[in-house]
Amino acid sequence: MAFQLKDIVPWGRSLAEYRAMFALSADDLKRRILDCGGGPASFNAELTQQGGAVVSVDPLYAFSVEQIRSRIDETFDTVMQETRANAGEFVWRHIPSLDDLGAVRMKAMQTFLSDYPQGRMEGRYLADAVPNLSLPDDTFDLAVCSHFLFLYSDHLDLGFHIEAITELCRVSGETRIFPLLQLGATPSPHVLPVSEHFRAQGYEVAQVPVSYEFQRGGNQMLRIRKVA
């Protein structure tokens, strides 16, 4: 049986992973960045500490630090059990073992939890969600979306994907989405129709190879740019 989750779960990734997943250059990290569906990632905390400008949006941020910590504790073992049962779906290169995976993820989430109260006060963590963001047009230079769109293709239909990405393109000049696989490490059926839709709307759309691969075969992102 392939990797499955009944619900979207909080699962944190680091700045280093974001850089690899989205092929973020040093210049990219100087841009105004929107992290869509950021969850308990440490990307915002780490990049802010380095002087970057990033805002993360996720419905999770409606909750207190204690509530988010509790949700992480509730779901952590489930994700680890699914990963253990489906270890063949993953590439154990950058993260060599299941124990290392747990440690890496928990470290990122602890960094997030430490930063979250201050970040929420500063407006860096907003309880907001696609496809209806409460943000002005063209607020950001770059929007990134990790392990939400495409990954949960069984939970979120094609119409939702098109509406969500349309909203990201409204608030940002460029959108990058990773991975292009769904749970179970199989290609998302939404990638091709999404790509065709946005090309027809006049956007530049490309599937771009990246250096990150944890889900086997999950080493590409989708990049959608407004054409000047």
Per-residue pLDDT of the chain (228 residues), as tens digits, is 453 445 567 778 999 999 999 999 999 999 999 999 989 999 999 999 999 999 999 999 999 999 999 988 888 888 888 889 988 888 999 899 999 988 999 999 999 999 999 999 999 999 999 999 999 999 999 999 999 999 989 889 999 999 999 999 999 999 999 999 998 889 999 999 999 999 999 999 999 999 999 989 999 999 999 987
* Closest to 146 (Cα-Cα) out of 176, 104, 126: 176
**Dihedral sign of CA atoms 113, 50, 16, 35 in order:** positive
Q: Quote the CA–CA distance of 68 and 61 in Å, as a whole number.
A: 8
Nearest residue to 216 via CA among 164, 165, 181, 177? 181
* Contact of 107 with 141, CB cutoff 8 Å: no
Residue spans of the domains in the chain: they are: 15-225
Domain 15-225: state its class. alpha beta
Q: Which of 66, 73, 53 is closest to 11 using CA atoms?
A: 73
Q: Tell me the pTM.
A: 0.92
Evaluate whether 195 touches 222 at the Cβ level (below 8 Å): yes
Give Cβ neighbours of residue 35 (< 8 Å, ≥ 6 apart). 41, 43, 44, 54, 55, 56, 57, 143, 144, 145, 146
